[in-house]
Each structure stands twice: as structure tokens, then as C-alpha cells.
Amino acid sequence: MVSLAIAPGPRPLRLVRHSFALAKRSLIKTWRTPEALIDVTLQPVLFLVLFVYIFGGAISGNTHDYLQFLLPGILAQTIATGCISIGVNLNTDMEKGIFDRFRSLPIPRAAPLLGAVLGDIVRYVIVTAVTIGFGYILGFRVTTNFFEALAGCALAVLFALCLSWMPVFVGMKVRTPGAVQGMMFALILPLSFASSVFVSPTTLPGWMQAFVKVNPLTHLVGAMRGLFLGTPIGNHIWWTLAWCAGFVVVFMPLALRAYRKKV
Amino acid sequence: MTSELIIEAVGLQKHFGATKALQGVDLAVRRGTVLGVLGPNGAGKTTAVRILSTLLTPDAGRATIAGYDVVRDAEKVRQKIGLTGQYASVDEDLTGRQNLELFGTLLELGRAGSRKRATELLEWFDLSDAANRVAKTYSGGMRRRLDLAASLVGSPDVIFLDEPTTGLDPSKREDMWDVVRQLVANGSTVLLTTQYLEEADALADEITVIDHGRVIAHDTPEGLKRVVGGLTLEVRPAEPGDLPRAAEILTKVSSGTKADEIRRGVLAVPVADDSAMTEAVSWLAAAKIPVTELSLHLPSLDEVFFTLTGPKSNTKKEEVAV
């Protein structure tokens, strides 16, 4: 039999190439099952409509002001909940034989996980586009400029990519897809409500304000409000980036270790 | 060169909690041959394959593939092997072609190389027409073929087939056997696990029988059959009244051994080889004895185990009964 020469090449390059090949795989899967995109398409639309028209008047006096305030928050919240599915999907995938095959191939062990995370960029771009697009229909307007708004969107997508290592880790550790969903939801829900997503934190009790101040979503929302609307941005961008780095530094090695150990 | 061991495992042990999956298993396969690993469900076959294919690390013992240690040189081992597990390990949301091209890319065949290899394999496994269909829509047999094709993308030297025909109907089983024979003809080495002595007999150069995580026999198919008993010819005459005459003929076919009525209306005799089948058919026809059933059997796995471990498992049963 003709043995095809396998030229390994430098490791980091291979990791990139293999991860992209596997990212393409998850893109094809997303494409084939568009219903898996509901959480990043229908959910932001529903949340915008419900929150703007139910709470808008009560919180901001009129719906337009609340829409301006709320939209970056809804984007942050949907991006955080949108991360959950990667953990659920990987947990489901691990049960099938396909991961056995990946692990029996001479590819860097990180590639299947990295590929899955990269493939999800598309989901985060979709959620950003849907939220802002639908917001524009309702009357949302960026008051800074195109480039700052674009930077805000890029920050949101970056945040999602880094945060998704947490559900990836949970997906490797927990036994059933349902448990991944439940556990991640229990983590994301308090994060998204005890933040500046829906209301200005000044009305909250002191102990909760302390939590809100360190909450990564507060910083992401603060940064996006600054970039979309020109509100005072303070250190929000830096804190957001620091949290991003933190998620990757902590959860990526944990996820890879759990993946390696998984029988 | 032919005596070179390409797969060698010594004293493999693996525990999962209290379950002792492997309790010191030795395996040896010469380059270009087929080893059949025969055993019932839960014997440790899959665990052994998972260790040899670097998916699991053994608790004790060592194993090498083409001289590379499966733990220390796992990456080198992975370049040498192809694995087809018990469960289809292809992506069901991808088409057959996309699956094969993905593995081609991951194996560094390049874009054009991956495409070419995918086309070759799709053709070989008779999947060309289904190439652009999502694997989810494939039948069980097609999935198995795609699965096997996927493990051959990198033209591996060593191929692990974990129960490749379990759940396939008999005609598909024969197709799979032909594929295994072609692989060996092309110079590959195959380790296949199976629950059927028939399958191991049809394909393997040597057979290792394992049970409860231990090797209980290792031999050539001929050697093993000498121990556990060879072929049995079974005949069911259409008319019960023909039984005595049919028994006489069968006794002649087996050159002297008396035919037994093993079930109501079914006669059985041990025979030397499959030529006994044609002999029996022509003699029964000459005697004008119509038959409704005529078949040639190797001992079933149960019978193999009864012979190899018989007394021990008997005592076990008694203990349970008490």
C-alpha cells in the first residue's frame, strides 16, 4: 500500500490549520440545523420587545430612552446565554464516536475544542447583527460613529469567544447535556440580572452593588454603551479585556485537561 | 520481515473503579496478518483496542505499535493507525464526502489530496452515489462502510476494527469480510474484535480468545478448532419418518461418527470440512430424502467458552444456584 507521507510541520501552524478545518465542520453543522440558532436570533428580538414595552415606561419614562439604554445590555445578555450551547453541543458530541476518532488522529489534542469555539464566531456575529438590526427597526440609534460601534460589536464577539471556555469546561465535566444547560443557566442568569444590563445599579442595595461592580457583564455593557452612545466609558473596556483574559487563562487549560482525561 | 511484530502488548491491565476490564492481557500481531480477538460482551476487547489506539492509558503493562509506545509516543502511534469503533464515528451532520475530506485535511493530505483520497474511498466502498448526502440518511451498512473508509483516509499500516460486523445482516457481513481481505492484500495489518468464531475463522491468521479481561487461548483458527471442535453438519429431513435413513447417510458422510438427533427432527454430525456439505446433499438427493434445513456450523461462542473454560463456569453457575 502506498503510504501517504504525513508531513507534520511546525506545531502551532498545525494547530491553527486543524482548528480551522474543525471550525468549518461546526459551521456546516450550524448551517444544517438552523433551528439551533433560535437562541441567537429569536431570543434577542423577544427580549427587546418585552423589556422595552413592558418596563420602558416605568424605568425610563418612555420606551425610546429605555431602548437606547437596554440594547447594549440585551446584546451582552444574549451573548452570554448564547455561549451555553457550545457546552451542550460538545457534551452531546463526546457521547458519539466522532471524538474517539479525533483523539485517534495525529492532531493536536486542543484542535477539536478550539475548532468548536472558533466555529461559534458565526453565532456571535449573527446575534450582534440581529440585536442591532432589530433595535434599529424599533428606533435604536448609535450616537457615536460607525467605527466606535464596530469596536463595540467586536468587543462583544471577543467576550463571547473567551467566555465560551467556561461552558466548554462544564461540557467536558458534566455527565449530560441537560446538566450543562442547567448549570450554565444558573451561572449566567444572576450574572445578567445583577448587572447594569436592565437598570442603572444606583438603585440597588449596597451589597448587590458591590457584586454588580465586579460583574464582567456590567463592564461589557458599560464599554458597549460608551462605544455606541458616548456615555462615560471609564475603565470598562480594560476591565472587559481583563475578564476575557481571565476566562481564557482559567477555563481553557481546565477544559483541555478535562478533555484529555475524558474516557 | 514477516515475523516482525507490529502490534505487541504485554501484561495490559485496566481497572474502571471496581471493574477489572483487563487483568494482564498479552497480544502479538505480525506485520501483514490479521489477529482476531474473540470474546463475549464485556470481555475487555474494546478496552484493549482503546489502549492500543491511544484512547486510554493502561494501569499496568505496555504496548507498542510499529515499535512506538502507545503512551510515550502516542502521537507517532496515531500516525500509524486507523480505528473503526463499535459505534459509527463519523459526523452525521456532514455528507460522506465532507467527512472523508475533513479527515484528509486533519491528516495533512492537502486540499487536492484529501479530495482525491475521498473520491477513491467513496468508490471503493460503493458510496459514490451517496457521497453528497448527509450521513444521517445512510443505512446501517452504509454508515459502517463510511466509518471504515474514514479510518483508512491516511492509509494506515495498522487497522483496528472493533466488532466491525455486529448488527449487520449476513450479506453485508460478507462484504465487510471482503474489505478486510483486501486491506491485508494491500499490506495492512488488522486487529479485529468479534463475538463470532465464524468471523475470526474466516479472516484471522491467529485468534486470541479473551474472557473476563484475561487471555484464555491463543492459536491459529485450525489449532483452536482442534481444541473446541470443528464443523457440525445439521440436517432436518422434511418427513420425520426419514430420520433413520438420513442418520445413516450422515454417519457415512462423517466417516463413521454416529449422527445424533440434537433437537426434535434435526440430526447433527461432526464433519472434517465443508466438502461434507455437497456430499451430504448429493447422497440425500440420491436416496430421495427431502430436507427443509441443511447447514454447516462452527461452534458458537458459547460452545467455545464452554470447552475452554467449561469446568470453571460450571462451578460458578452452581455457586450462583446455591
- What are the angstrom distances between the C-alpha of B225 and each of B200, B253, B255, B291? 11, 19, 19, 28
Containing H/E element for B101? helix B96-106
Position B315 in a domain: no
Position B310 in a domain: no
Return d(Cα B89, Cα B77) in angstroms, integer. Answer: 19
Residues within 8 A of A (CB atoms), B 194-213 only? none
Position B131 in a domain: yes
- What are the angstrom distances between the C-alpha of B9 and each of A16, B18, B79? 35, 23, 18
Q: Is B89 in contact with A9 (Cβ distance < 8 A)? A: no
- Asked whether residue B33 falls in the same domain as residue B108, the answer is yes
CATH code: domain of residue B255: 3.30.70
Domain boundary among B175, B198, B226: B226
Position B154 in a domain: yes
Option in B55, B106, B186 nearest A100 (CB):
B55
Task: Say which residue the cell 479473551 belongs to.
Answer: B210
B205 pLDDT exceeds 80? yes
Residues within 8 A of B (CB atoms), A 94-123 only? 96-98, 100-107, 111
Neighbours of B21 (CB within 10 A): 23
- Asked whether residue B105 falls in the same domain as residue B210, the answer is yes
- Asked whether residue B127 falls in the same domain as residue B151, the answer is yes
- Asked whether residue B142 falls in the same domain as residue B263, the answer is no
With b meaning 16 or more CB within 10 Å and e meaning fewer, what string describes A216-236? bbbbbbbbbbbbbbebebeeb
**Residue B36 near residue B180 (C-beta atoms within 8 A):** no
- Asked whether residue B161 falls in the same domain as residue B255, the answer is no
Question: Residue B51, CB half-sphere, CA atoms under 13 Å: how many?
Answer: 28
- Asked whether residue B200 falls in the same domain as residue B263, the answer is no
Q: Which residue of A has its CA nearest to B182?
A: A1
- Mean pLDDT lowest among A2-11, A62-71, B213-222, B224-233: A2-11
Q: Is A6 in contact with B79 (Cβ distance < 8 A)? A: yes
CATH code: domain of residue B127: 3.40.50.300
- Asked whether residue B118 falls in the same domain as residue B215, the answer is yes
Domain count, chain B: 2
Angle at B100 between CA A10 and CA A8, to 5 degrees: 15
- Asked whether residue B255 falls in the same domain as residue B213, the answer is no
Exposed/middle/buried for B62, CB within 10 Å: 0-12, 13-18, 19+? Answer: middle
Q: Which residue has the higher pLDDT, B7 or A12?
A: B7
| Tens-binned pLDDT, residue by residue, of chain A (263 aa) | 444 444 555 667 888 999 999 999 999 988 888 888 888 889 999 999 999 999 888 888 888 999 999 999 999 999 999 999 999 999 988 878 788 889 889 998 889 999 999 999 999 999 999 999 999 999 999 999 999 999 999 999 999 999 999 999 999 999 899 999 999 999 999 998 888 888 888 888 888 888 998 999 999 999 999 999 999 998 999 999 999 999 999 999 999 999 888 75
Position B319 in a domain: no
Position B317 in a domain: no
Reported pTM? 0.79
- Asked whether residue B89 falls in the same domain as residue B200, the answer is yes
Q: Is B55 in contact with A107 (Cβ distance < 8 A)? A: no
Position B307 in a domain: no
What is the complex's ipTM, to 2 decimals? 0.81
Distance from the Cα of B18 to chain A's closest Cα (Å) equals: 16
Alpha-helical regions (H) of chain A: 11-32, 38-60, 63-82, 84-95, 98-104, 111-119, 121-138, 146-163, 165-173, 177-193, 206-214, 216-229, 236-261
- Asked whether residue B241 falls in the same domain as residue B198, the answer is no
Residues within 8 A of B (CB atoms), A 20-39 only? 21-22, 24-25, 28-29, 32-33
Q: Residue B43: which domain range?
A: 5-226
Q: B310: pLDDT confidence band, cut at 50, 70 and 90?
A: low
Taking CB atoms and an 8 Å cut-off, how many pairs form between chains A and B? 93
| C-alpha gyration radius of chain B | 23
- Asked whether residue B115 falls in the same domain as residue B77, the answer is yes
Which cell numbers hold the place of B155?
492509509
Helix axes A236-261, A146-163, angle to 10 degrees: 30
Q: B189: pLDDT confidence band, cut at 50, 70 and 90?
A: very high
pLDDT in tens, B250-306: 888 888 788 888 888 899 888 888 788 888 899 999 999 999 988 888 877 777 777
Q: Is A17 in contact with B105 (Cβ distance < 8 A)? A: yes
Report pLDDT for B42.
86
- Asked whether residue B280 falls in the same domain as residue B181, the answer is no
- What are the angstrom distances between the C-alpha of B296 and each of B246, B273, B299? 16, 9, 10
B315 pLDDT exceeds 80? no
Helix axes A121-138, A111-119, angle to 10 degrees: 20
Which cell numbers hold the place of A211?
457584586
Option in B79, B102, B188 nearest A25 (CB):
B102
Q: Which residue, among B93, B157, B160, B183, would best test binding to A if mutated, counting the most A CBs under 10 Å from its CB?
A: B93
